[in-house]
Amino acid sequence: MSDIVQPSHPIGQRVPMIDGPDKLTGRARYTADLPAIGALSGKILRSTAGHAEIVSIDTSAAKSMPGVIAIVTGDDCDKTYGVLPVAMNEYPLARERVRYRGEPVAAVAAVDDATALAALTRIKVTYRELPAYYTAQEAIAADAIALHEKRPGNVERQTEFDLGEVDAGFAEADLVREDTYHCAEICQVQIETHAALADYDVERDQLTVHCSTQVPFYVHLMLSRCLDMPKGRIHVVKPHVGGGFGCRTETLNVELICAMLARKAGGAVRIVLTREETFITHRGRPETHIRMKVGLKKDGRITAVECESLQRGGGYSGYGIVTNLYSGSLLYALYDIKSVRYTGTRALTNTPPCGAMRGHGTVNIRFAFEALLDTMASELGLDPFAVRRANLLKAPTFTENDLMVKSYGLPECLDWVEEASGWQKRKGTLPPGRGLGMACSHYVSGASKPVHWTGEPHAVVNLKLDFDGAIVLLTGAAEIGQGSSTVLAQCVAEVMGLDMSRIRVVASDSRVTPKDNGSYSSRVTFMVGNAAIEAAENLKQIMVEAAAKKLDAQPQDIECLGEVYRAASQDRGIDYEAVVSAALEDTGTITTKGTFSTIPESHGGKKYRGAAIGGTMGFSYAAQVVEVTVDPDTADIKIEKVWVAHDCGYALNPLTVEGQVQGSVWMGMGQAMSEETRFHNGMPIAANMLDYRVPTIVESPDIEVKIVESVDPNGPFGAKEAGEGSLSGFPGAVANAVADALGVRVTELPITPDRLMAAIEAYEKEQRVRQTAGAA
C-alpha cells in the first residue's frame, strides 16, 4: 500500500510549546491564580536592621486583633534549611539574629490582606544592633565580627587550585597582562513574584503546598525538615511558573513560612510577595571583584591563567560554595588551557543572599577573561578571532581539571558569527563611535554530580498507556517557561512515531510524578530527555511484542510506523489503537519507566577540593559578535545588533532553542548595560524594575541566532544545553565593542553612561598627559 502511514518526526521541528494556548488565553494558572476559597492571607514582617540581635518579639497586640488567625516567629521553627547539605544555616524566620535588612522575622495569617498588613504594624521587635558589613571587603576585614559562628572571618569557603605549570607558563609568554574587573550584583527579576499556597489538613495531618519554584523536590525536602513532618504527609505541586533564571533553584523562605502559617492556622494560607520583597528574597548573581592575569604567546596561544575572585555572598550560604567553584572550574573547557591558578573567596555580608543565577558562577569570570584577551590581542596586533582559534580544544578530550568534553562546536560558531557580522570587512573600517566586539562562552548540560547525592539515577520518567490510547508522560521536571514539557513530549512522540497530540504531559506533582531534582544547571533536556527516550523505547517494545502476537510474526520483524504496526512492507498492518488493545489484553494499564544516570568519567576530578563542580555530560558552546554605536558626548551606548551562534549539540526544537539563546543574550545585555541592585546601608534602593533598570523593548536589539549542531554522543538525539551558554559571552563582547568604538575600555559592569563617561574622561586625560610628555 503506497499511502501507508508515515511515522511522525517531531524532533528537529519548530514545535510551538504545548502549553502555549493556556498561556495565551489566560487559562494558565500560576500560584497567585489558584482558586482557594477561604484561604487566609499571609504577610511577612521583615527586619529593619542590617545586622542585629533580636532582643524580643512581642506579638500580643497583633494576636488580639479580630481577623488575625495565626502568627509565627523564629520560635516556631528551630530547624535550618539550605540547598547544600553542608551549608544549611538559614532559618525560615530569623532566630536570635538578623543578618540582612528585609530578613523575615515574623509572619501573620489573617482573613484578608488589609488585616494581615495591619497586624504586622502591631508586632514589636526590639533589636540590638551589631556592626554590619555591606561589602565583601568590610566583611572579611580582620576586625569584623562573624555573621555565623561556623564561618570565621566571614568567609564561606576559600576555593583554591593550581593546575599545570602556571609560573612556567607566564615565564614562556611573550605578553603577560593583569587587570581588575568589577561586576555589580544583579537579580533575576522574573515577572512572577514569589508565591505559595499552603493547605494544612488538621484531621489527617497532611500538607499540600503549591508554589512558584524550579525545584519542587528540594522544597519537599525542606518542608519535611523544617516542619518536622514525614515526607509522605507532604504534597508539593508546581503550577505554571512565571520565569526562574535561578531565583527559585533552592527552597525559599516564602514556601516554608506559608506552610508554617497554614499548619498553625489549621487551614489554607496564601502568600504572594510584592516585587520589592521578591528583590529582597534575591538569590541573584553576586557582586564580584576579579583580578585576571593571562600569558600569551605571539601567535595567540594562552600559556597560563591566574584568577582571583571575591564575591559578596549575602547573609547566608545558599549555593555559595558551588558558585565559587564554578567560577574556577569553568575557566577550563572553553579553550585549550593547561595551566590555571584560581583563588575564589566568597564573603558572607549583611545583604540578601545570592544564588544560582542563569550562567551560574561563570558570567563575571567570563567577562573578565574575554575582555582581557581582547585587550592583549590588540596589543599583539592579533585579530580576536585568531586568538580564539589558536586555543581551540579537540574533542573528545578531558581538560586539565578532568572535565569531559565529548563534542565541541566552537569552531563552527566562530566561523558563522565572523561571516554573518561581516567582521573581516568591517572591523576597523567603521565610522567613529561605532564598534564591533566578540566573545565566546560555554555552559554545562546539568551537573554530573547533584548537590543531593543519593546514588539514584539523575532522572526518571514514567509513561502510562491505557484504554484511550493516550500516552501520559509523568515527569518531575519543572516547566518554568523554558519548554521542558514540550521537549519531553517531542522525545516520546519521536520514539513512538506518533503525533504529539497522543502525548499528555503531567509534570511536577509529588503524588503522581517521579522525583526530579528540578530545573537548574540546564539539566532537563539532557537528563530527563534521555530518560524519556528510554521510557518510550520500553513502551514501544511492549507495543511491538503485542503487534507481533496479533500479526502472528516475530517481534524483530515488526515495523512501527507510529499509527500503524506491520510485519512486512506489503502488510497493511494493524493500527495503533488495535495494538494498544492487544497490549492491554494481558496486563491492563501499562506503565513503563526510563532512567538516566551520568557516566563516572563525567564526574570531574579529585585534583582539588570541590573539583566535581563543573563536571557535566556535555558542554554547550557559543560565540557572539556585538555591534554598538556610542555617543561620545553622552556616553550612551546603543546595541545595534547581535550575531550569536550556539552549539546545542542537536536542536530538538529549533524554535525554542532560538528563544532560549535570544533570552540568554538579552539577559547578558541587561547585566552588561544597566542592571544593578543597589543598597544604602544595607537598604535596597533599587528594588523595583524601574530603578533596577530592566531593559525595555525600546532599547533591545535584534539578536540573530545560528544553531550549530555538533551532535553530542551522549545527548538525547545528540542534544546539549541551549538556555544558558550564550549569556556569559555578551558582557565581554560589548565591552570589546565599546573599546573598538572609542578606544576606551570599561572594566566595570554595568557599562552605564556614567561609568563610560568616567572612563572616557580618564582616557582623554591620559592622552593629554602623554601628548604633553611627548612635546616636552
Partner 1 sequence: MKLILSITVNGTARQDAVADNMLLIDYLRDIVGLTGTKMGCDGGECGACTVLVDGKPRHSCLALAQACGSTHVESIEALADHSRLSRLQAAFHEKLGAQCGICTPGMVMAAEGLLRHNPSPSEEEIREGLGANICRCTGYVKIIEAVQAASAP
| Site for partner 1, rule CB under 8 A | 16-17, 19-30, 32-33, 188-193, 240-245, 272, 274-276, 480-483, 655-656, 658-659, 662-663, 665-667, 669, 688-690, 694, 696-698, 700, 702-703
Question: Least separation, in Å, of the C-beta of 332 and partner 1?
Answer: 29
Q: Please say which residue, 344 or 668, places its beta carbon nearer to partner 1.
A: 668
By three-state DSSP, how is residue 514 classified? coil
CA 258, chain centre distance (Å): 25
- Cα–Cα distance measured from residue 39 to residue 664, given in angstroms and rounded to the nearest whole number: 37
Number of residues written out for the chain? 776
Question: Least separation, in Å, of the C-beta of 686 and partner 1?
Answer: 12
Question: Least separation, in Å, of the C-beta of 28 and partner 1?
Answer: 6
Question: Least separation, in Å, of the C-beta of 655 and partner 1?
Answer: 5
Q: Please say which residue, 273 or 492, places its beta carbon nearer to partner 1.
A: 273
The contacts of residue 771 (CB under 8 Å, 6+ apart) are none
Burial class (CB in 10 A: 0-12, 13-18, 19+), 515: middle
Question: Least separation, in Å, of the C-beta of 734 and partner 1?
Answer: 14
Q: Please say which residue, 339 or 486, places its beta carbon nearer to partner 1.
A: 486
Burial class (CB in 10 A: 0-12, 13-18, 19+), 763: middle
Question: Least separation, in Å, of the C-beta of 481 and partner 1?
Answer: 3
Question: Least separation, in Å, of the C-beta of 720 and partner 1?
Answer: 20
- Cα–Cα distance measured from residue 76 to residue 446, given in angstroms and rounded to the nearest whole number: 36
The three grid cell numbers given for residue 397, joined into one nine-digit string: 578530550
Q: Please say which residue, 277 or 400, places its beta carbon nearer to partner 1.
A: 277
Question: Least separation, in Å, of the C-beta of 480 and partner 1?
Answer: 6
| Listed residue (120, 356, 370) closest to 245, CA to CA | 356
Question: Least separation, in Å, of the C-beta of 248 and partner 1?
Answer: 12
Q: Please say which residue, 506 or 694, places its beta carbon nearer to partner 1.
A: 694
Q: Please say which residue, 277 or 534, places its beta carbon nearer to partner 1.
A: 277
Question: Least separation, in Å, of the C-beta of 711 and partner 1?
Answer: 24
Question: Least separation, in Å, of the C-beta of 709 and partner 1?
Answer: 19
Residue-by-residue DSSP string for 418-474: HHHTTHHHHTTTSPTTEEEEEEEEEEESS-SS-SS--SS-SEEEEEEE-TT--EEEE
- Cα–Cα distance measured from residue 416 to residue 68, given in angstroms and rounded to the nearest whole number: 63
Report whether 687 contacts 381 (CB < 8 A).
no
In single-letter form, the type of residue at position 37 comes to: I
The three grid cell numbers given for residue 552, joined into one nine-digit string: 502472528
Q: Please say which residue, 360 or 406, places its beta carbon nearer to partner 1.
A: 360
Pair type for strands 404-405 and 175-183:
unpaired
Residue-by-residue DSSP string for 152-163: GGGBS--EEEEE
In order of 282, 436, 564, 589, 750, the CA distances from 739 in angstroms are 32, 9, 61, 64, 15
Pair type for strands 748-749 and 175-183:
parallel
> b/e per residue, 272-311, with b = 16+ CB within 10 A?
bbeeebbbbbbbbbbbbbbebbbbbeeebbbbbbbbbbbb
| Listed residue (448, 455, 491) closest to 473, CA to CA | 491
Q: Please say which residue, 475 or 656, places its beta carbon nearer to partner 1.
A: 656
Q: The cell 537598604 sits on which residue?
A: 683
User: Where do runs of H (alpha helix) occur along 520-596?
Assistant: 529-551, 576-587
Q: Please say which residue, 580 or 667, places its beta carbon nearer to partner 1.
A: 667
Question: Least separation, in Å, of the C-beta of 475 and partner 1?
Answer: 18
Residue-by-residue DSSP string for 173-240: -SEEEEEEEEE--B----SSPPEEEEEEETTTTEEEEEE--S-HHHHHHHHHHHHT--GGGEEEE--B
Largest CA distance in the chain: 101
Q: Please say which residue, 1 or 24, places its beta carbon nearer to partner 1.
A: 24
Q: Please say which residue, 403 or 648, places its beta carbon nearer to partner 1.
A: 648
Question: Least separation, in Å, of the C-beta of 14 and partner 1?
Answer: 9
The contacts of residue 200 (CB under 8 Å, 6+ apart) are 206, 207, 259, 262, 263, 265, 266, 267, 268
Question: Least separation, in Å, of the C-beta of 303 and partner 1?
Answer: 37
Q: Please say which residue, 86 or 698, places its beta carbon nearer to partner 1.
A: 698
In single-letter form, the type of residue at position 390 comes to: A
In order of 97, 289, 386, 675, 737, the CA distances from 678 in angstroms are 23, 16, 39, 10, 26
Question: Least separation, in Å, of the C-beta of 256 and partner 1?
Answer: 23
Q: In the chain, how many H helices and how many E strands?
A: 20, 31
Q: Please say which residue, 272 or 560, places its beta carbon nearer to partner 1.
A: 272
The three grid cell numbers given for residue 364, joined into one nine-digit string: 563575571
Residue-by-residue DSSP string for 92-139: SS--SEE-STT-EEEEEEESSHHHHHHHHHT-EEEEEE-----SHHHH
Q: Please say which residue, 42 or 92, places its beta carbon nearer to partner 1.
A: 42
Question: Least separation, in Å, of the C-beta of 702 and partner 1?
Answer: 6
Q: Please say which residue, 154 or 475, places its beta carbon nearer to partner 1.
A: 475
Residue 364: which H helix or E strand, with range? helix 363-380
Question: Least separation, in Å, of the C-beta of 193 and partner 1?
Answer: 7
Q: Please say which residue, 193 or 445, places its beta carbon nearer to partner 1.
A: 193
Q: Please say which residue, 279 or 335, places its beta carbon nearer to partner 1.
A: 279
Pair type for strands 195-201 and 206-211:
antiparallel
